[in-house]
Structure 1
Amino acid sequence: MPESSSGEVARDSDAAPASAGSAEPEGLIIEAVWESAPESPYGGTSHRADPSPAPRSTEAVVEPGPGAGPAEAAQEPAAPAFWAGREPEGGAAADWWWRGDPGDVGGSSSGDRLADVPAAGVEQPVVREGDAASETDVPSGKPRSTEFVEGEVRWAPELPPGWVAADESEPAGPVEAEVGEPEVVGGGPPTYSAEPTAWPEADPDALDGLVADTVLDGAQYGRLTVRTVALRGDSARYRGQPRRDALLTARFGSGDDGLLLIAMASGARGSDEAHRAAQDAVRWMAGAVGRSRARLAGDLRTARRGSLKSGLHRLTDRCYGRLRARGEDLGLPEGAYTASLRCLLLPVDPECRIRLFFGVGEGGLFRIRGGGWQDLDLAPDEAAAPFRFRATVAQPGDALLMCSAGMAEPLRGEAQLAAHLARRWGSGTVPGLAAYLSDAQTRVKGYADDRTAVTVWDA
């Protein structure tokens, strides 16, 4: 019987049919031939780039004919042995994962192993004449061992100009930690741990409301350097409550016409929507300032204090009007969906040293000048309109601090904290982000609220 070039044994299609007394089932008889691959030490079959000839075996495979009965139909693969006794209620067919998805090509019925069939479009290695290893080096029928050799290691991509690769022959010395544990000042250690304990519970349908435990940011433009941080309070960390303080930093415009905005808000204590109200407040306020950037930048350059105050007052009122409308949409009592809001507006222009503060609600505005603290947070002009506004002119060496109530209260109430931060931030050296975070975390017993702060250093 002739053998085809593919290795299969072809039958003559005109061969006589089986006799009536034959035990063979009705249908076409195909004799398949394949190469048996040796087992891999990792299970399944081994994959050889250049397999050596292996003994052939033949097996008769019966394809059902037109009159094939149920006994000859393809059988569904049995469940794995380790699932014995774990069938789901309603039988194995009750769950799609039991025997594999019918639409999943190459599912569990194809076996959990890689086939010794080259992937389509993948070029296979070729053993050239003269290579160290060839088919004749391995006895027929025995698996060929595979060796993995690491090639030459090169820099990819190349080092930037001026960079020098580290000398691996010299062991690296110990690296001293720049930032240690947060300082503790006052009458004793606080009740809660200094590190986060529990995360707030998440709603899978409202994941946009999640807030991180800590937010840290910074920038430098000409003579001014900015550091800002928002920390979840010790009490909220312990109880798994979200941070009620929100922080937003933004730059509007480019070049010397740009404006830097730092906005922070604190949601009402005890409200489940406090963190959302704070986030809405800073976003809506930032959007209003960004759309009015050109006029605000012009008024800052010309020092039009009255125009700045009235304009920012209107923008702030509109923001609080949106907060009230949002609370009504949520069905909350009047005044429940609100937040205290404090903003700092800084011109990028190095020739303009005006630092503009405005907002509504509690918090703090301080300045370190000459090594001492100055409290710049004045009371609102009118009790019915609690809008706060303050324009200051920076001097070289100043450190201006705007903060939420969670930072302002211990700063006013604990003299040791004020002295510690005056030494850290009033020395003329701007701390790095990690060091600033550690300073803001300085612990004081009895103060466990969220802390949000921004400090601006002028050179």
Structure 2
Amino acid sequence: MSQQGGRTTGHEDDDWWGQLYDDSTEDTGPTPATDSLDDRFASAAGTVRSASTAGDTGGAGEGVGTGAAGSVPGPRPEPPGPDGGRTDWWTSQDAPPTASPPTAPEGTVPRPRGGRAPDVTPGTHPPERHRAPWEPPSDTPPDPTNVPSGPLPPGFAERAPHGPAPSATGDHTPTKPPPAASKPPAPPSPPAPSTPPPTPPPPSPLPPPPALPPRPTPKDYVGSGPPTYDAQPTALPLADPDDLDDLVADTVLDGARYGAFALRAVSVRGDSARYRGEPRRDSLLTARFGTGDDALILVAMATGARATPGAHRAAAEVCRWIGRAVGRSHVRLAQDIRAARRGDLKSGLHRLTDRSLGRLRAGAAEQGLEPDEYAATLRCLLLPADPACRTRVFFGVGAGGLFRLRGGVWRDIEPRVGEVAGEPVVGFGSLPAETPEGDRLTMDLGITTPPNPYDPDPDPEPPREPFRFRASVARPGDTLLMCTGGLAEPLRGEPDLSAHLTGRWSGPTPPALAAFLADTQVRVKGYADDRTAAAVWEA
């Protein structure tokens, strides 16, 4: 038998094949070792290798040693071709793939050339073949990293420690193995401690911190007890999808600083309106007209009539109308304030107020409502931006409050009809007079014209609120507060509220917007209306 692609070894080399498959050979009977076709092929492959090694004269073979029994040597070299070169048909791309011969299973004993398996006693291991010094024992798996450093004997090729394993079905194309890489020395292992280190004792538990006294809960009300309603908004007002401009925010907050004063203004929906889902009836307008020292700041606030469906609209309209009237005349008004033309200021502001309220009454007639059903109170404050002018002008119609905090004491300076309240102020009347502090004192007697006795059927007119006017010179450290009835009534009726605001607003600097909002929202039991206020701190 000749290897595929090899030369014929002659008739004498094939005698063993006939002896192996000759029918005349007497059966040797069962043997303890396995005798399969694979075992016989492995035995034949070993015999062919021995014959090829004996016939080669070129030194070491080029086959790849597998280190296992029945390894197949590399193919024999072909004779030189016509061109003197060497032709290896198995390296050609057109050559058909050759199948890798199967290797003997681990633990099997190759049959000798005579065809008989060695006699092995059952229960014992077959005799171990002679192995080279560099080969591992048969019962130990080969270590691919244990490669000898010296030259290999003839017939063995060096195998890479991590080279690719021979394919079970692929080609066996001999390739030149890469040089063996030197294995880096393994890092020294740390010496094992003779005795384990002592375990540190567990940390002692820390003593519990001392109990702190509970922080006092800030009160959002003053007086004898908590108010009836909730402190936060509950229900939103009903909205009309076709008239969303009619919606009124729950809270409006504003502020500014000009010249020698700082302004804080706020308008908050009352507790009762928040609970019932009603809109805020108060309206607030803060506007600046002009620039520089000639600028004039207007603060206007109005309150709609109670228990009327359009109260918030009436308050907003009267604020816009008075703002438009003051804005168009702000240059003349600023000049009159700086020049102390008190008569012109009173008469001019009175006409602007009557005109704005007259338009409100005309709107009620257009809607088919009574004048009282579409009415509002109005209170305004004029503040010149000129730092050299400290005159503060108040005017308006209707209920509300005007207070001044000076030296830690609140004074009610709301001008009343027929009397003078508080410190002397600059006003207008028939007989002006000077006060020891330099203020000019006047008063409006509020005398109305009696009905004509010769008119049998006079047109009944609803009683109108008197026009209120007051102008005073502010002093450094003063705090002037103008507010609607929702805050003026609890200030007059609950001493704790005025004491609370005295402690909060007596500092050298005005509060921030958020602090001012919190101060004006301090509730008092029995007072649940909207609150609108504007405070001026004098530097």
How high is the TM-score relative to the length of structure 2?
Answer: 0.51
The DSSP-based 3-state class of the residue aligned with 1:362 is coil
1:423 aligned partner, one-letter code: G
- Does residue 511 of structure 2 align to residue 431 of structure 1? yes
- Does residue 394 of structure 2 align to residue 314 of structure 1? no
Task: Report Cα offsets for 1:309-329 as digits up to 9, x if no partner.
Answer: 000000000001100111111
- Does residue 501 of structure 2 align to residue 421 of structure 1? yes
- Does residue 384 of structure 2 align to residue 347 of structure 1? yes
Q: 2:270 corresponds to which residue?
A: 233
CA distance in 2, matches of 1:385, 1:411: 22
2:535 aligned partner, one-letter code: T
Q: How does 1:154-303 map to 2 (within 5 A)?
A: 183-303=220-340
Q: 1:445 corresponds to which residue?
A: 525
Task: Report Cα offsets for 1:144-201 as digits up to 9, x if no partner.
Answer: xxxxxxxxxxxxxxxxxxxxxxxxxxxxxxxxxxxx9663110111011110000000
1:204 aligned partner, one-letter code: P
CA distance in 1, matches of 2:318, 2:248: 15
2:303 aligned partner, one-letter code: S
The DSSP-based 3-state class of the residue aligned with 2:371 is coil
Q: How does 1:328-407 map to 2 (within 5 A)?
A: 328-380=365-417, 381=444, 382=446, 386-407=466-487
Shift in Å, 1:209: 1.1
CA distance in 2, matches of 1:192, 1:310: 44
CA distance in 2, matches of 1:440, 1:273: 26
2:404 aligned partner, one-letter code: R
1:245 aligned partner, one-letter code: D
Q: 2:14 corresponds to which residue?
A: none
Task: Report Cα offsets for 1:233-274 as digits up to 9, x if no partner.
Answer: 000000000000000000000000000000000000000000
The DSSP-based 3-state class of the residue aligned with 2:527 is coil
Stretches of structure 1 that go unaligned for 5 or more consecutive residues are 1-179
Shift in Å, 1:427: 2.3
CA distance in 2, matches of 1:251, 1:335: 31
Q: 1:411 corresponds to which residue?
A: 491
Deviation beyond 6 Å, 4+ runs, structure 1? none
Shift in Å, 1:228: 0.6
Shift in Å, 1:208: 1.3
CA distance in 1, matches of 2:504, 2:219: 13
Shift in Å, 1:372: 0.2
Shift in Å, 1:385: 5.7
Q: How many pairs align?
A: 280
| Backbone CA RMSD of aligned residues | 1.2
1:456 aligned partner, one-letter code: V
How high is the TM-score relative to the length of structure 1?
Answer: 0.60
CA distance in 1, matches of 2:249, 2:407: 36
Contact 1:182/1:439, CA 8 A, preserved across alignment: no
Contact 1:371/1:427, CA 8 A, preserved across alignment: no
The DSSP-based 3-state class of the residue aligned with 2:347 is helix
- Larger strand proportion of the pair: 1
The DSSP-based 3-state class of the residue aligned with 1:367 is strand
Contact 2:305/2:372, CA 8 A, preserved across alignment: no
Stretches of structure 2 that go unaligned for 5 or more consecutive residues are 1-216, 418-443, 449-463
Between the aligned residues of both structures, percent identity stands at 65
Shift in Å, 1:336: 1.5
